[in-house]
Amino acid sequence: MKRVVRFSAVFMCMLAMTFLGVRGVQAEVGVTDDTILLGSFQDMSGPGAYLGKLCTTTMKVWMGYVNNDLGGIHGRKLDLVVEDNKYDPVLTKTAFNKLVNQHKVFALVMVYGSTPCTAVKDDIKREKIPVFPTMATVQSMFDPMNRYLYWYACSDEDNAIMMVDYIVNDLKPEKFKVGVCYQDDEWGKSALKGLDLACKKYGLKYAAAGYKRGSKNLNTQAMRLKAKGVTHCFYAGYAPVYAALLKEADKIGWKPVFFGDYVTVDPRSFMAGDLADGHYHFSNLGLRSEGVPGWKRLESLFTAAGAEKMLNVPLLPLLWNPMLMLTQALQDCGRDLTREKLIDAIDSIRDFDTGGLGKIEYSPTTRKGTHYYRILQCDAEKKIFVPMTDWRQPSIVWGSKERPASK
Partner 1 sequence: MAVTRFCTRSYRQDLRVFPSPAAKILLVLGGLFLLCLPFMAGRYVVFVLCVCGVSVIGALGLNILTGYTGLISLGHAAFMGIGAYTAAVGAAKAGLPFLAALPLAGIVAAAAGAVVGVPTLRLKGLYLVVTTLAFQFIVEHVIYHWESLTQSDRGISLPPAEIFGLKLDTYESFYYVIVILAVATALFTKNLAMSRTGRALVAVRDRDIAAEIIGIHLAKYKILAFVVSSFIAGVAGALYAYLLGLIGPDHFTFNQSVLYIAMIIVGGMGTVLGSIIGALFMVLLPEVINAVSGPLASAYPILAPRIGGISVTVYGLVIILFLLLEPNGLFGIWIRIKRYWKPWPFTY
Candidate residues 44, 145, 384, 405; the one interacting with partner 1 per rule CB under 8 A: 44
- Angle, vertex CA 330, rays to CA 324 and CA 335, nearest 5: 150
- Does 313 bind partner 1 (CB under 8 A)? Our answer is no
Candidate residues 28, 53, 271, 332; the one interacting with partner 1 per rule CB under 8 A: 53
- Of 118 and 219, which CB lies nearer to partner 1 in the complex structure? 118
Q: How many residues bind partner 1 (CB under 8 A)?
A: 35
DSSP string, 228-253: TT-SEEEEES-HHHHHHHHHHHHHTT
> Smallest gap, in angstroms, from Cβ of residue 267 to partner 1?
20
Asked if 160 and 401 touch (Cβ cutoff 8 Å), the reply is no
Of 76-84, 174-182, 245-253, 331-339, the segment contacting partner 1 by CB under 8 A is 76-84
Candidate residues 90, 171, 227, 252; the one interacting with partner 1 per rule CB under 8 A: 90
Binding residues for partner 1 restricted to 92-131, rule: CB under 8 A: 93-94, 97-98, 100-102, 114-115, 118-119, 121-123
Distance CA 403, CA 387 (A): 27
- Does 49 bind partner 1 (CB under 8 A)? Our answer is yes
For 79, the enclosing helix (H) or strand (E) is: strand 77-84
Binding residues for partner 1 restricted to 172-191, rule: CB under 8 A: 185-186
- Of 188 and 394, which CB lies nearer to partner 1 in the complex structure? 188
Candidate residues 63, 66, 81, 160; the one interacting with partner 1 per rule CB under 8 A: 81
Asked if 178 and 233 touch (Cβ cutoff 8 Å), the reply is yes
Candidate residues 52, 133, 260, 358; the one interacting with partner 1 per rule CB under 8 A: 52
Asked if 37 and 106 touch (Cβ cutoff 8 Å), the reply is yes
Distance CA 15, CA 38 (A): 32
Candidate residues 18, 26, 45, 400; the one interacting with partner 1 per rule CB under 8 A: 45
Strands (E), 184-279: 206-211, 232-236, 257-260
For 384, the enclosing helix (H) or strand (E) is: strand 384-387
Distance CA 114, CA 179 (A): 25
- Of 120 and 329, which CB lies nearer to partner 1 in the complex structure? 120
- Does 155 bind partner 1 (CB under 8 A)? Our answer is no
- Of 126 and 382, which CB lies nearer to partner 1 in the complex structure? 126
Write the single-letter amino acid at 58. T
Distance CA 75, CA 86 (A): 35
Write the single-letter amino acid at 217. N
- Of 57 and 221, which CB lies nearer to partner 1 in the complex structure? 57
Whose CA is closest to 320, among 133, 145, 173?
133
> Could you list the residues that contact partner 1 (CB under 8 A)?
43-45, 49, 52-53, 56-57, 81-84, 86, 88-91, 93-94, 97-98, 100-102, 114-115, 118-119, 121-123, 138, 140, 185-186
